[in-house]
Chain A
Amino acid sequence: MPNEIRCGLLLVVVLTTGVAAAGDALAPAAIPLSRGRLFEEQGGAALFASVCAGCHQPDASGASGAAAYPALAENGNVSSADYMERLLLNGQRGMPPVGQMMSDQQIADVMNYVRTHFGNAYGEGVSPEDVGAARRQMGSSP
């Protein structure tokens, strides 16, 4: 959108210590706010909490309305690194291409986090190099 101003520093970090709305008992302890066009969170846990959890929910149980965000918990699809890379970099259906705002390392980290948490046990086998290769193949840029 043309009406965004994309620059600058910001100093806001919100702690969920105030009044909580119903239903957010599982909200993460803190969600930082990045300063530019790329996510600044580092590590799979932080990226999951700040990006994925908005739709897939903090416990990865998914959410359902007129259509649904699938649970990532106990989800066999996350065993396929190719599938996850394609969704993160290209988007599909309800999934926006959030990987376009992450580095190869960040994508690998958040993939490995999901693949080894929430009842998934597919190993931390994804490397930044794998993600970089997928990104080049899809013609996507960070």
Chain B
Amino acid sequence: MRRRDLLLLIGATAGATAMYQAMTRLGFAAESPYRGPITLEGDPKGASVIILGAGLAGMTAAYELARAGYKVQILEYNTRPGGRNWTIRGGDTYTELGGAAQQCLFDDGLYLNPGPWRIPYHHHAILDYCRRFGVALEPFIQLNHNAYLHATEAFGGRPQRIREIKADFEGAIAELLAKATRKGALDEAVSKEDQEILLEALRAQGGLDKDFRYKAGDDAADFRGYARDPGGGLAAAPSNGEPIGLHDLLTSRLWRGLQNFALYDFQTTMFQPVGGMGRIGEAFARQIPKVIRYGAKVTAIQQDDHGVAVVFEDLHGGGSVEEATADWCVCALPLSILSQIDVNVSAPMKAAIDAVPYASVVKTGLQFRRRFWEEDEQIFGGISYTNLPIRQISYPSTGFNAAGKGVLLGGYTWGGPNSYELTAMSPADRIKVALDCGAQIHPQYASEFETGISVAWHRVPFTLGCAGEWTDETRRQHYGNLCQIDGRIVLAGEHASYIPAWQEGAILSALDAITRLHKRILASR
């Protein structure tokens, strides 16, 4: 019996409380492991820790270790804190590997988050740090019923409102199931009493009429909206649109897009920092003044019985080679970087460091001279999904209903051939692709576009890729070895978590690493 079947059986026979308890035991429905601010009790007696990388993992480690009494320093390649927690704003310049330089010409207040851009409500640790460090949050709109689902070969390439696809798909299924129920097809599986309740639920949830049909009418319109909305005064009566038939819905494949609103990671409420995701990295850095050494390119990490020595190039000082030492090391560099650095850790940990490829991801931001998606199409925030290489268009979750300009996320391509093909293009060509694709959904692109910026993560100098991509097999072989304390070195980052590519994973990984390291240090005295 599969685990899920067992749960259904428990749920059916023992009621919801028993099912929830069983789910918790089996690993479903478990709450986040974060239990509030950590306390590292015990005196480290002046012990020092060098931390590599001033991303969220490295800065979490530095902040908490400093609070516990350790001497901490961070070496960071970039000239800013945050790592992949990063916002590109007007006036910023970004030079990618290969040498293409882009100057961001966005207007004041407009930005692109090239990396993380939304925070689920169940990512307790990052939400707690935002609260403690005074980072203002606002809602990130993931589901907007009035945004689009689009596929080039569905409905003649015309984008469809999410509202209509969702309501019609669920309505058609409810009608089918009601029909099967009333024909007795479920008699063996569902009791007569439950069938009555089921029919009642299908009618209420699916927008079915009194005869259990999903068709043009007031019941369906309550969910799918109207062909002409109700108004005021004379001739104000609404008119109902004709639902899309089941065959057309199924073969359009647009239902695939609906899971983006149902998955745990994307359920409401989601958040974003006011002013860009980079506000979190900036806030962390303010908590650890004078700890971060910028422009330091780590080239070797060597440990012995007495401590850890880190060799780095001072990129500001003409590349002069320096060495920093400490008693212990928290290495929060991406594995794509660390795997190329001379580091004396055990063979199993080295094999783990080498075993995790990084995802290919491309994002493109586009500034338009007016918010036509709001003015013309009543789309306030949210995401349209498409099968075009851009995959999605995300509308800004801030500045609603105001006159003036706006920046769309004009493409977010994660993995697959298109992500590599876009990476191989110049930034100008990536922007051209975003415009060509987006114009198939919003014809206003042609007349309203002003300026854009594009980030292909495999060309980002400080990471050489977006995020660690584990498989079940590499996790089984290497994850445990990656997370061990190896002598005086422990790793941290989203790659050392079961929440890869999310900032929560980076923070939880760092908290776990330093908690274990602290115990090890106290025990070693």
Contact = CB atoms under 8 A, between A and B. Distances in A.
22 contacts: A3-B260, A6-B416, A10-B388, A10-B437, A12-B436, A14-B429, A16-B425, A22-B99, A22-B100, A33-B422, A53-B424, A54-B459, A65-B461, A65-B462, A66-B77, A66-B464, A68-B340, A92-B339, A92-B355, A96-B359, A97-B357, A101-B416
A91 interface: yes
A31 interface: yes
B417 A54 contact: no
Nearest to A93: B339
Contact of A18 (B97, B100, B260, B429): B429
B402 interface: no
A96 B428 CA distance: 24
B388 A23 contact: no
Chain A residues touching B, majority SS? loop
Contacts of B263: 2-3
Interface string B403-440: 00000000000111110111111111100110011000
B64 to A, nearest CB: 24
What range describes how many residues of A lie at the interface?
A: 35 or more
Nearest to B415: A1
B465 A96 contact: yes
A8 to B, nearest CB: 4
Given A21-B101, A21-B102, A54-B424, A66 B433 contact: no
Interface stretch (A37-45, A74-82, A108-116, A119-127): A37-45
B421 A10 contact: no
A23 B428 CA distance: 11
B464 A31 contact: no
B151 interface: yes
B233 to A, nearest CB: 43
| Residue with the highest number of chain B CB atoms closer than 10 Å, among A2, A33, A51, A98 | A33
A98 B429 contact: no
Given A16-B426, A40-B417, A23 B458 contact: no
B297 interface: yes
B380 to A, nearest CB: 21
Interface in A47-67: 49-51, 53-55, 57, 63-67
A5 B386 contact: yes
Given A23-B101, A67-B336, A93-B354, A51 B391 contact: no
Contact of A20 (B387, B418, B426): B426
B257 interface: yes
